[in-house]
Structure 1
């Protein structure tokens, strides 16, 4: 990566990246990495990957003295370490920019900066996103919450995130916080015993659950099933091709995010399409096509694809197993885990220690 800078009095400094020997052309959205040049914006959250492979979630504060000044951001829906010190990075330290491409599956894509060059320029118009706040009111109007919204760079463009109680979440999207009526806050959970169906507004089912989709319509987004879950989950089939395409050219997240994991299935789960969402699965889970949940404790068998954040036990997939954190056994044609202890059996196996065909391990 090469760099250069130009001087001009009484002006701010901007930073952009462009392919080596490439023409400096900016699209309308000049913040988006792609074929053309793009700027690094102030007041924007980026996930930088450094040359030493360290990942830095950063809210860019300023660009000056040929450096990027930032504060460490908590990461989407992860806990903060409490530090808000202003730190500095030189563009030459950056290897790539990681961007979420699919929130539901926790899949990321990366834009490499290795074959590009960085340029500092002086300008009277600093590249920065405006500060924005939003106030939302409960349904009964008894209270309100104000959010400081920060742009967050994704593959599709910009999402808005906010921090609350040292946790960062999407303001719009799968992690958006929902308000509850104060009249509903203290209502006890709705529980059904013996047998029930889903989708449902019930919070807990003890016994047999039969349905079209393993979803909840409850106000608190919580569904707990103890017993047997038999579901068609036909809507899951529509995301299979998209998930495979993203997985073949994307990174898994570096950390496990359990912030929104409110639902649980404990016992036996048999799904035609496959269970996806912020679930904790305990016991035996059999999926017809794909599975994408937060945590699995037990045995998971899926005909095509498993994409989970964490598993403890046995994960078996016909095509691919992918997990951020894993403890146990992975069996599939392709196995991938970023934080793994156990054994992988397949055509190609990747973990945080090595890459090997047929069989791989880390203890």
Structure 2
């Protein structure tokens, strides 16, 4: 009986060793296979061609999202407290202070955000304002030129927003499209997709404006809500008040005060209004 138990224990130990060996081999093969699968996936992701989409749950998914994730763009430095501008292509948000020469479209990050203060010495719009003499001249007369307000291209910039500022923007030049600002804007000349807040400068051209804008030459907007104060004020659709030498709005819901006022109802000197179509 004793000898039988010894034989059984030996066989059991041998069987245990076999099971342990098989388990180790399977675990190693599993880990090795996972590593290879990851490498193949990364290779496939990096080789995604432009404008590639995949169907997932009956929805088109942009495969570049996974490529962007695989290239480690979401790093610890993607959010900063201070940054020079143009902002690094790896930084998608700055909570604090940005100082530099302006912002340009980033090919890696669709929309970079600044929460705080943005100060820039941008030479582009300042050069446009001083060298191109027709810019200030035409801006001064834009309020009495109906051809300008009916020109769709004058308002509709095809550049998508690539920079968004929540706070204070101070610029020796300004934006030339692709910007959204919520807060206070102080700049010479600015072309924005959206401006919500208070703006002071030479020329402000926006697709959408809400708040108060004071410009030495012209306030120009596709859709305006609030108060425009300037030599010329132009808004295709405006809800509020226009105060200036020349005021022009195709669809006005409010009042105009100026030397010459034009809206969808009438043209009058000094004072004009429109509250219905």
Common fold: TM-score over 0.5: yes
Task: Provide the residue aligned with 1:183 in structure 2.
Answer: 67
Shift in Å, 1:312? 0.5
Shift in Å, 1:197? 1.0
TM-score, normalization by structure 1: 0.47
Shift in Å, 1:191? 1.2
Task: Provide the residue aligned with 1:142 in structure 2.
Answer: 48
CA distances 1:92-111 after superposition (whole Å, capped 9, x unpaired): xxxxxxxxxxxxxxxxxxxx
How many residues of Structure 1 are paired with residues of Structure 2 in the alignment? 193
Distance change in 2, residues 1:231/1:359 (3 Å): farther
Question: Which residue, 313, 320, 325 being the options, matches 2:223?
Answer: 325
CA contact (8 A) 2:48 2:64 kept: no
CA distances 1:173-228 after superposition (whole Å, capped 9, x unpaired): xxxxxx958532463272111x2110122221111111111335451242211001
Shift in Å, 1:142? 2.4
CA contact (8 A) 1:285 1:301 kept: yes
* Structure (1 or 2) with the larger CA radius of gyration: 2
Q: CA RMSD in A?
A: 3.3
More strand by share: 1
Distance change in 2, residues 1:209/1:140 (3 Å): same
* 1:265 equivalent in alignment to 2:165: yes
CA contact (8 A) 1:261 1:279 kept: yes
CA distances 1:97-141 after superposition (whole Å, capped 9, x unpaired): xxxxxxxxxxxxxxxxxxxxxxxxxxxxxxxxxxxxxxxxx9943
* 1:233 equivalent in alignment to 2:122: yes
Distance change in 2, residues 1:263/1:359 (3 Å): farther
More helix by share: 2
Gapped regions of structure 1 (runs ≥ 5)? 1-137, 147-164, 166-178
CA contact (8 A) 1:196 1:210 kept: yes
Distance change in 2, residues 1:345/1:245 (3 Å): closer
Distance change in 2, residues 1:328/1:359 (3 Å): farther
CA distances 1:293-326 after superposition (whole Å, capped 9, x unpaired): 0011101111x21111110111111011111100
Cα distance in 2, alignment partners of residues 308 and 335 from structure 1: 12
Gapped regions of structure 2 (runs ≥ 5)? 1-43, 53-58, 253-262
